[in-house]
Structure formats: C-alpha cells, structure tokens
Amino acid sequence: MKQTVNLTIDGQAVEAKVGQTVLEAAAAVGIKIPALCHHPALKPIGACRMCLIEISRHQPLYPACTYEVSEGLAVTTRNERIDQARRFVLDMLFSERNHYCMYCEMSGNCELQDLGYEYGLDHWAYPTYVEPFPVDASRDTFLMDHNRCILCRRCVRACSELVANHTLGMRQRGAKTMVSADLNLPFGDSSCVGCGTCLQVCPTGALIDKRSAYLDMGHKVEMERVKSTCSQCSVGCGIEILTRGGNIVRVEGDWDATPNGGVLCQKGRFDPLYDKRDRITVPMIRKNGALQAVDWEAALGMAARHLAQVPASGVGVVSTSYATNEALYMIESLFGQKLGTDKIELLDAALPRLPVRYGSLGQIAESDLLLVVGANPVEDQPVASFLIKRAVDQGARLIVVDGPDNPLIPFAHMNFEIAALEDAANVAARAESPLVLYAAGAAEGDLAKLQGLERATFVALEPGGNARGAAALGLNGHHVGDEVEVVYVLLGEQPWTEAETEKVAENAFLIVQASYDSPFTERADIVLPAAIWSERPGTLTNLEGSLCETKQAIAPAGEAKADWEILNLLADKLGHGPAISLAELSALAAQGLN
C-alpha cells in the first residue's frame, strides 16, 4: 500500500504521508498556514476557520487542519480571497470579547495579536463586546480571564486528550459560552491537577501564568529557550526553561521530547519556581559553635583534612538520588574506590530488578491491560499517571494492586490488595499485551509472582530522580550506621525529613553539600553550596534507563557550584585529582552506567 502522496502547495511540489492534513504537510516543508484552534499535539476540530485554504477557485474554502492530502491535490494557501476570509474571522474574534491588547498581560505573547498584525488589522470593524466576563484567580499559579477567551477549546481538549483529567468543558451557549471547570466550580476548587497543560496551549491571554505575566518578564522574542530535563521525579520529562536577563521566566513542556510529549505536572512546571526555602550561596564552616562564611579553598581544605585523617571504616556517605550521574559517579569513584568506604547510602534506593522484559512508558499507549502494583504514580510520577488515564480513555483495562486509598482506583476496572497479587496476575495473563508498572509498595517476594506473565512488559516506577542511574553506578544500599567518624551528605535540593537525619550519627563530623537550609545544614560542620536544577549541567538516567541531559539555563546563585564540580574539586584536594572537565566526567559516568 502506498505510504505517500504527491501534491502541490502554492505551486511547490510536496510529498506527504497518507493521512496527513494539508496543514501538517505544509508545515513539514516550511509553509505557514495560520491557525488558532489547532495545536500539533491535539486532534484538529476546524473551529476557528483561520486556516482556510483554496482547493479549487470554484469551490468553497476548506480548513487546512482537517482536510486530508490526496494524490494530485493543488492547494493555495494565500491570495486575496483567502486573506479576506481570514481578516473577517479575525474581525469577528476581536469583536466577541474584550481584546484590548494594551491592557492585556499577554500582549507580545499572543497568537491572536500576532495574526492581527500579520493581516493588517488597525481598527475594529465591529463593535466590541462590552459586557464584562469573570476572571478566575482561584489557582495559585495561573488564572482564567474569560474576557480574553476566543473559545478555541484548546484548553478543554488538552485537559481531555493529553492529561486525561477531563476537568474542563464548555457551559452556556452562543455569545455567553464559557470554559468551565467541572460543574462551574472555581479552578482552585475543581478536580484540576494544576499541571498547566491548558496554560501552555492557550493562544491568547485567557489563561495567564501569574508569575511571569505579573512580574513583567518580557515578550517571547526577548526570551531565551533552553531545552533540558526535569529532575523532580524519575520520569525525566523534557522541558524548556525560558529565561530573560539571567532570570527564569517560566518552564514549559518540550513537545518533541519523550516520554512526556510536552506534558508536564505541577512538580515540573511550577513547584521549583515557587520554592521558598532559603538558598545556601557561600561555603561555611563551623567556628565557635556557629557557621561562618569562608571561601571554597578553606571549606574544601578542611573537608579534605577530616576525610584524610580517618580510616575507610570511619567514613560514611549519605546521598540523594536526585543528583546527576556525574556526581553519583564521583561518589562511587572517590569514596567507594579511592577512599575505600563501603558505607554509602542512598536516600531513595532503586527498585529490585526482576528477570523479566523491561519496556518504556511509551508502551502504555500500546497495551491492552495495565497492571499497577504497589505504585502511586498520581503522587510520585504524575505524568506517568496521565499516560495511564489516557490509555484507559482509549480502551485499555486498568488493574490496581494496592490499598484502597490509591488515587488510580476510581479509574480502574479491578482493584486487588497486595495479598491477592496472584489473582491479579491470573487476570493479566489473559491479556494480549499487558504492561506491569510496579513500585516500592510491593515486596520483591510479591513481585516474583508476576514473573510467569510471558507476554508482559515491565516498567519500574523508580523513586527519586536518578535512582536508576545510582543503581547502575553501584550505589544502592549499605546503611551508614553509627560507627562512623565523618559523614559526607550529598543532599542537593532534596527536602529534609526526620528519617533522613537519623541516618547520620550525632557525634560524627558532618560535611553537607546542599542547595537549601535544612536541619542537616544546621547540624553541619562544613556546608558546601550546591547549584540547583536550572544552574547545573550534567546527565540523569530516567526510569526507562534513558540518558537525559540537563542544561544550565542561568548562573548559579552566589558561589554555588554544580554537584559534580564540588566532588571533583574535593577529589583534587584529597590528592585524587586533578579535577577534570564535565565532558570527561560524563564519559566516565556513561561507561559506568553501561
């Protein structure tokens, strides 16, 4: 069967894939067709009519976003007839609500405004709508201004098709039609999960990011975009960090990235930008019972002296699994191999690996049955939960094996307790392509009951941000205990918990590498300031085992340094140097991961 067709667009010969729309075929060869209701990640609905094209001079105009290509098709995307139709659409859109651009927070970042300029609209052809519409500011991070809405339904479709949360819909009719959350609840009181996907796809100022809009962060042409990887959980979503003048404006999902395909959760999009903890920006050592600022030379020199004067059995390491592969490699290389300690403990250890076939999150969409065992992705890996709910919408069956409080149970076809895992496995065995997603809620002995699922593929929903990388580098256990004299804590950005501080003996000399103040740093004898997610380059290994790059978007605060760089400099101080470049360190870490 033929996979491509030949057509002409504006006189240009184009080869397109069978099933593509004219809009997609034109975009693939760099021909721009304007659209407002269309978004590449969403199913086309042909609502706004901005993408009207001419197939034949004697036929009506057709929407390019829904018109499929065919052999020999001749398409015209721009002439006076088409421009007149598009200007009429714009005139009508500007008349329906209050689109007075000079008073809109999104002026300069608005697709409707851009098209107004492109098609020469210098006045309103029709009276504008004067009745005020409500503004919903009940969410902490973004608001809904119905006065700026053009009813394109991008937000409604994104909530349904991409996040599968189905919070948004439409209410009332005609000129009074409005986007609605649940049964006309305020956004903040609705079932909205705060992921911000609706915000990212909105073409106007109807959905507004409070932080970037009201802090006058600038127009899109003034911003720089840095593609990176979210490190807030183990999914490893692709992100774009938008910066201006050395400041982060906002975070958006990268539509071209896997496994998220542009979708982010609240943890990845908003939480890091609203972190109110106090940053550590200078090295400090304890003098006369209080921490005092010093330079890096003094702090690293003191740390090296204390580490060098105790035997290997007296050194312990507690490390976050949110660190980069390069930092974790340095932990194993410096402390494990060169200093000889076997007391290296992770705050989040990787899950047990079973003798089964492992897959990727992308296979969620291809499976007819999803078996979630001892996992709570809604809380721990929200984007994975979006993919699961999306698959359920497409007809996949969901079985949750966990306690009654698991948030996925309302979407499940069946629910079993962990004790009845074998019964769940018997159901899954009858599926054609089952996918098992498991986490720490199931013991390794319980998981052994699933090894007989010959057609199943497995995905381990790893804790932390880089537990998979840590395990590959040999860091996955070895309790520190109370018999150590010096403890090095690689805390990074990880929030402190009482259980974590209990891992460190009270009388041990404590060296803490951290980004924020915490009870760990309050107990520390030496504090080394670490760069945060947006300030450090490096790599992470996501739960699929894929190597993901993190890029530096802004300069580190104060004198903070990347996690791997601090350990690199410490190794040099201990005589295990000289310090090497990031490229060399990344290559060594990659060898260790393999």
Q: Give the per-residue pLDDT at 478.
A: 67
Residue 81: both structure tokens together:
């007839």
> What is the second-level CATH architecture of the domain 4-78?
Roll (3.10)
Q: 182-193 burial string, b = 16+ CB within 10 Å, else e?
A: eeeeebeebebb
Kindly tell me if the per-residue pLDDT of 216 is higher than 70: no
How buried is 178 (Cβ within 10 angstroms: 0-12 exposed, 13-18 middle, 19+ buried)?
middle
Q: Give the per-residue pLDDT at 570.
A: 97
Please work out, in degrees rounded to the nearest 5, the angle formed at the alpha carbon of residue 211 by the alpha carbons of 209 and 215.
120
Q: Give the per-residue pLDDT at 192.
A: 97
Indicate the DSSP class of residue 534.
T
Q: pLDDT digit string (tens) for 150-184?
A: 999 999 999 999 999 999 999 999 889 999 999 89
Smallest CA-to-CA distance from 564 within 583, 547, 545 is with 583
Where in the chain are all domains bearing CATH 3.40.50.740?
284-350+468-593
E-strand ranges in 516-567 read 526-529, 538-541, 547-550
Instruction: Indicate the class that CATH gives domain 131-274.
Output: alpha beta
Among 82-86, 238-242, 475-479, the range scoring the smallest mean pLDDT is 475-479
Residue 162: both structure tokens together:
């991409």
Is 523 strand, coil or helix? helix
Kindly tell me if the per-residue pLDDT of 219 is higher than 80: no
Non-local (6+) Cβ contacts of 117 within 8 A are none
Q: Percent of the chain, pLDDT > 70?
A: 98
Q: For the chain, first and last CA: distance in Å?
A: 41
Q: Give the per-residue pLDDT at 200.
A: 97
Where in the chain are all domains bearing CATH 3.30.70.20?
131-274
Is 449 strand, coil or helix? helix
d(CA 389, CA 396): 9
* CB hemisphere CA count around 357 (13 angstroms): 10
> What is the second-level CATH architecture of the domain 361-458?
3-Layer(aba) Sandwich (3.40)
pTM, whole model, 2 decimals? 0.94
d(CA 62, CA 77): 10
Smallest CA-to-CA distance from 269 within 326, 332, 199, 324 is with 199
Residue 528 banded pLDDT, cuts 50, 70, 90: very high
Q: Give the per-residue pLDDT at 477.
A: 66
d(CA 233, CA 176): 41
Q: Give the per-residue pLDDT at 537.
A: 97
CATH T-level topology, domain 284-350+468-593: Rossmann fold (3.40.50)
Q: What is the mean pLDDT of the chain?
A: 94
Residue 468 banded pLDDT, cuts 50, 70, 90: very high
Q: Give the per-residue pLDDT at 506.
A: 80
Angle of the 563-573 helix axis to the 582-593 helix axis, nearest 10: 100
Inter-CA distances, 215 with 4, 105, 200, 274, Å: 48, 10, 18, 13
Q: pLDDT digit string (tens) for 250-273?
A: 999 999 999 999 999 999 999 999
Q: Give the per-residue pLDDT at 100.
A: 86
Kindly tell me if the per-residue pLDDT of 128 is higher than 90: no
Inter-CA distances, 65 with 15, 39, 145, 388, Å: 17, 9, 27, 28
Q: pLDDT digit string (tens) for 230-239?
A: 999 999 999 9
Where in the chain are all domains bearing CATH 3.10.20.740?
4-78
Residue 9 near residue 64 (C-beta atoms within 8 A): no
Residue 482 banded pLDDT, cuts 50, 70, 90: confident
d(CA 5, CA 72): 8
Q: pLDDT digit string (tens) for 362-404?
A: 999 999 999 999 999 999 999 999 999 999 999 999 999 999 9
